[in-house]
Amino acid sequence: SERHLLSFTFRDSPVDFINVTCWGGEMYIQETSDMFHIGDIVEMSNFNVQSKPNDGSDERFRPWTSSLYQISLSENKSILRLYAGWDGHQYNSLVHIPVKASNDFLYVQDVLNDVNHVQPSDNLISLLVAVQQVLKDVTTRAGKQMKRCEVLLFDETAFKLPLVLWDQEMSQLAQSWTPKETVLFIADVRVSFNDYKKCVVASASSKTVITVNPETREAHALYQYAQTADVPLEYSSDFQENQAMDRIITNVFTTRDMKNMTSSGHVDGGWTYGIVFAFVSALDIDTQNPQLACFNKVETSTGCCLNQDCPQGSTMNLDASSTSNACSFDLRIHLSDQYGTLSPCHVYGPIAEEMLGLKVADYLNLCEDQKTELKWNFLLERCKVYLKVSLPDAIRPRISYRVMNCTLADPLEYVNYL
């Protein structure tokens, strides 16, 4: 007879979770699927416990779990039902604990700028993000009827990372998410460059686990940022050019203050923000190897980028109209004052374009003399720089300085901080 299956992932402690497969006829599986939802507390009995295969095949299409075993339920022998006991409340908090370390995630801007290098070989990463907007869910037909919901995500570094949800349970869950209020820890989500949208897109799969409003220090910090962030709700531009930094970031530091802040022995991670009035002491935009990032996917079959304007070069002799000129600035600059130097400070994408006053396409058309002239607009000039400083932790042992905005300093403003 024909057998159908339904997969769950159960947990009964912050560190213990296991995959469960339920086997049975089509009607039984459909009824079971309709009965249980993410976050429900259940009890089961008369089940089989099996060791997981050593080759990892058990988790190829299911979430990674901490257990060395897996559970199998059958329609005829096993019992799975909602738990009605008086002590069920002790499990409620588990739904808000991520299945991975709370600091094991990538920032949105890192994903947008360099998708080909930040992702591991299996294309799966983890994200800590806030909900920017839940777009209208649609039903598509691809052999069978499928629900598709798209959610826009953001963090302190960038807005508008699309997340595509493909199954009904995920889509239904997303309808309860509130922009600027809901924070998500998304474990093992797939990221890729979408040729149709011309942008990086995250897609949930059967391996993805989404923790809503996680109870972690990092999530609380992101929630506080989301409350005050000037979040655009329209889906028209690729980046919010002005994040109301004059209102959000007000503390002024010297380079020595920044170094003392990040060398105080803390290894808990997190981030801080501040303003420095400093000279740009290094800005290598007139070298033969400009610091640009290309968003195009490199096909395994060719080993080549199909973007003729790719900063790494392309060996494909294609017509320019057939390629996507999807390059972005990825600059490293040094900031110096009388107390020391911060290096390297990363300037990404639209922030670098706003700083330099031109798009990547225009930059690529400049001759070397023009690039040198552009560099001297900032080199050894006093600038007002908004910085995000990522503090070291066990996952990221190195300090990271990210430029949020950089403009020439007003002497009348700077003199107040001498």
Token pair 């001759």 in the structure block, residue: 367
Q: How many helices (H) and strands (E) does the chain have?
A: 11, 20
Provide CB contacts within 8 A for 279, sequence distance 6+: 335, 336, 337, 380, 381, 382, 383
Provide CB contacts within 8 A for 178, sequence distance 6+: 131
Amino acid symbol at 215: E
Q: Residue 291 — pLDDT band, cuts 50, 70, 90?
A: low
Name 385's bridge partners.
Answer: 276, 406
Minimum mean pLDDT range among 56-60, 127-131, 202-206? 56-60
Provide CB contacts within 8 A for 314, sequence distance 6+: 304, 305, 306, 307, 308
In whole angstroms, what is the distance from residue 291 CA to residue 328 CA?
Answer: 9
**What is the per-residue pLDDT across 36-45, written as a single tens digit (0 to 9) for each?**
888 889 999 9
- Contact present, 286 and 182 (Cβ < 8 Å): no
Name 294's bridge partners.
Answer: 327
Query: H or E stretch including 35?
Result: helix 26-35
pLDDT at residue 406 greater than cutoff 70:
yes
Instruction: Work out the burial of residue 160: count CB atoms within 10 Å of its CB; fewer than 13 is exposed, 13-18 middle, 19 or more buried.
Output: buried
In whole angstroms, what is the distance from residue 404 CA to residue 256 CA?
Answer: 19
Give the dihedral sign, CA 136/142/146/151. negative
Q: Residue 238 — pLDDT band, cuts 50, 70, 90?
A: very low
pLDDT of residue 327: 65
pLDDT at residue 286 greater than cutoff 90:
no
- Contact present, 199 and 238 (Cβ < 8 Å): yes
**What is the per-residue pLDDT across 324-339, written as a single tens digit (0 to 9) for each?**
345 677 788 999 999 9
In whole angstroms, what is the distance from residue 351 CA to residue 322 CA?
Answer: 28
User: pTM higher than 0.75 for the full model?
Assistant: no
Residue 50 in tokens: 């099996």
pLDDT of residue 268: 53
pLDDT at residue 300 greater than cutoff 50:
no
pLDDT at residue 52 greater than cutoff 90:
no
pLDDT at residue 297 greater than cutoff 50:
no
Provide CB contacts within 8 A for 140, sequence distance 6+: 146, 148
- Contact present, 61 and 207 (Cβ < 8 Å): yes
pLDDT of residue 315: 41
In whole angstroms, what is the distance from residue 30 CA to residue 15 CA?
Answer: 30
- Backbone phi, psi, residue 303, to 5°: 70, 15
Provide CB contacts within 8 A for 415, sequence distance 6+: none
pLDDT of residue 57: 74
Domains defined along the chain, listed by start: 4-94 (2.40.50.140), 108-228 (2.40.50.140), 245-317+324-417 (2.40.50.140)
Residue 278 in tokens: 């400093």
Name 342's bridge partners.
Answer: 335
Q: Work out the number of other CB atoms within 10 angstroms of the CB of residue 223.
A: 16
- Judging by DSSP bridges, how do beta strands 252-253 and 271-283 pair with one another? parallel
pLDDT of residue 416: 81
Q: Residue 134 — pLDDT band, cuts 50, 70, 90?
A: confident
Q: Which residue in 408, 330, 368, 387 sits closest to 109, CA to CA?
A: 330
pLDDT at residue 180 greater than cutoff 90:
no
pLDDT at residue 184 greater than cutoff 80:
yes
Name 161's bridge partners.
Answer: 153
First to last CA, the chain: 82
Q: Which ranges constitute the DSSP H helices of 254-399?
A: 255-262, 349-356, 360-364, 368-375
Write the DSSP string, 314-336: ------GGGS---EEEEEEEEEE
Provide CB contacts within 8 A for 141, sequence distance 6+: none
Residue 143 in tokens: 């052999």
pLDDT at residue 275 greater than cutoff 80:
yes
